[in-house]
Amino acid sequence: MKKAIVVGGGVSGLAAAYLLREKARAKGMELEVQLLEKEERLGGKIWSIKADGYLCEWGPNGFLDNKPQTLELCKRLGADRQLLRSNDNARKRFIYSGGMLHQLPENGPSFLKSKLISWPGKLRLAMEPFASKAPMEVDETLAAFGRRRLGEEALRKLIAPMVSGIFAGDPETMSLKSCFPRIAELEAEYGSLIMAMIKMAKQKKKEKAAGKAVASAAGPGGVLTSFRDGIQTLTDILATALGSDAISSGQEVVRVSKATSSPYRVTTANGDLEADVVILATPAHAGSRMVQELDPYIAHVLGDIPYSSMTVVCFGYERRRIAHDLNGFGYLIPKEEKMNTLGTLWDSSIFESRAPQGRVLLRSMLGGACFPGYIKLSDMDITDRVRADLKTIMGIKDEPSFVRIFRHEQAIPQYTVGHGHRVEMLEEKLRQYPGLFLTGNSYRGIGLNDCVAAANRSADAAIRHLMR
């Protein structure tokens, strides 16, 4: 019987292992799939922590339903009925600017009324269809793209907060093509983002008329979706479907090398395993260490993918102690506001059952690529900083009755300029190692949908390899 080893038990590894085994079965292929995870706990960045009646998401709080991958996987796992869509009021997103929260405009008239962008800034934005074309063959930063098409103010107040909200990244270093390939495509296709939005809004109108759920134009597109017990249900269900026999947790892989009796040897602290196929579904830096001896070049390129750190802070309060309206998703803060946090999500407004009756859960983010030193702050310092921001922005003077602080030293891979080239080089070089695959959030998208899509591609590639 052939054997496949998947390294890493986050959503990418679990999905890759499950899909690989399903696809092999569908082809009548005899294949043993084994997943090795360093930690005792599965899920990687996904961890829904229940404490004192609150449900705190350590990492992601959901996926967007505007891409099919995670929804289809849930369907396949028979878990689609357990899905929980975010509340309708969570479509309202805010930006903190000039001492107040501004709702992100959802259409032309609300954009004109909004005080978030000044009149000169609005005029500059309106000139977008006449902006200069994308420079040929240049991997443009998000900041350069923003300045070129939308102007400096829109870059600072719209693009930069979005980049920190999604990637905990710095727009001055991040690549447009790697972070938001669809936006680069829209520019190439329509010559203008405004023209593209007008055409897509017409399409959405048609879909709404046909009774389909449509996301707010101000959001990233799609409706945020999770489960009643948190997003960890996704990885729990994957792990159950794979079965405990196929999963070895507490097994750190230290090396992947060539073997004599089968193509690869996977070395863990407890010994060696041999495999025909190896899928590395760990962060790039971990993969880099594993293949150092096998191929120093691949190891070098993997090690070159930077990561930003992030601290997630959950505060619980009695609802009646908060005068501020909590009707929305939460807010992001442009760097120029010189606040401590990147933004705060009103988690108990987004999904039901995130806080006990009569209480609310707020989740603030600190750090990211623009504030790398924040990961070293003490719990007390972090708590004070979050409280200071909540007081300034939402007028919350009380101490929170519930506090949880989660630190991610290497939270999110940064698709900086040159990332697309690095990924191409990796793919090229991997051709020398048939049966060895890379998947996960380090290459072609960090969202859960991207991870599931990449896992599916790796499983397909592994099957093709095994059938040769």
CB of residue 355 to ligand FAD, shortest distance in Å:
18
Q: What is the C-alpha to C-alpha distance for residues 319 and 316, in angstroms, rounded to an integer?
A: 9
Count residues contacting ligand FAD (CB under 6 A)? Answer: 36
Q: Judged by CB, which is closer to ligand FAD: 45, or 422?
A: 45
Provide the minimum distance between the beta carbon of 310 and ligand FAD in the complex, in angstroms, as a whole number.
5
Residue with Cβ nearer ligand FAD (149 or 444): 444
Q: Which of 4, 6, 7, 159 touches ligand FAD (CB under 6 A)?
A: 7
Q: Is residue 123 packed enough to be buried (19+ CB in 10 Å), middle (13-18) or exposed (0-12)?
A: exposed
In this chain, which stretch among 42-50, 204-212, 300-308, 376-384 interacts with ligand FAD, using CB under 6 A?
A: 42-50
* x/- map, 382-421, ligand FAD, by CB under 6 A: --------------------------x--xx---------
Comparison of 164 and 173: residue with beta carbon closer to ligand FAD: 164
For every residue of 283-307, DSSP letters joined together read -HHHHHHHTTTT-HHHHHHHHTS-E
Q: Is 36 in the site for ligand FAD (CB under 6 A)?
A: yes
Check residue 214 for interaction with ligand FAD (CB under 6 A). Answer: no
Helical segments of 78-159, H only = 108-113, 119-126, 142-149, 152-154
Q: How far apart are CA 366 and CA 147, in angstroms?
A: 25
The answer to whether 295 and 438 are in contact (CB under 8 A) is no
In the complex, what is the shortest distance from the CB of residue 280 to ligand FAD, in angstroms, rounded to a whole number?
9
Q: Please report whether residue 314 would count as binding ligand FAD according to CB under 6 A.
A: no
In 305-435, DSSP assigns E strands to 307-318, 330-332, 343-345, 359-367, 402-413
As a whole number of angstroms, the distance between CA 186 and CA 390 comes to 37
For ligand FAD, which is the closer residue by CB, 312 or 360? 312
Pick from 3, 19, 33, 45 the residue near ligand FAD by CB under 6 A: 45
Q: Closer to ligand FAD by CB, 144 or 448: give it.
A: 448
342 touching ligand FAD, by CB under 6 A:
no
Name the residue nearer to ligand FAD (CB basis): 147 or 407: 407
In sign, the C-alpha dihedral spanning 199, 201, 204, 206 is: negative
Rounded distance, CA 383 to CA 400, Å?
9
Is 17 or 150 the residue whose CB approaches ligand FAD more closely?
17
Beta strands in 81-138 (DSSP E): 83-85, 93-97, 100-103
- Is residue 13 within the footprint of ligand FAD (CB under 6 A)? yes
List binders of ligand FAD among 67-96 (CB under 6 A): none
Between CA 31 and CA 270 the distance in angstroms is 23
Under 8 Å between Cβ of 363 and 62: no
List 54's β-bridge partners, or say none.
51
Sign of CA dihedral 286, 291, 292, 298: negative
- Write each residue from 239 to 278 as x if it is in contact with ligand FAD (CB under 6 A), else as -, in one continuous string: -------------xx-------------------------
Q: Which residues bind ligand FAD (CB under 6 A)?
A: 7-13, 36-39, 44-46, 59-63, 252-253, 281-283, 286, 310, 312, 408, 411-412, 440-441, 446-448, 451
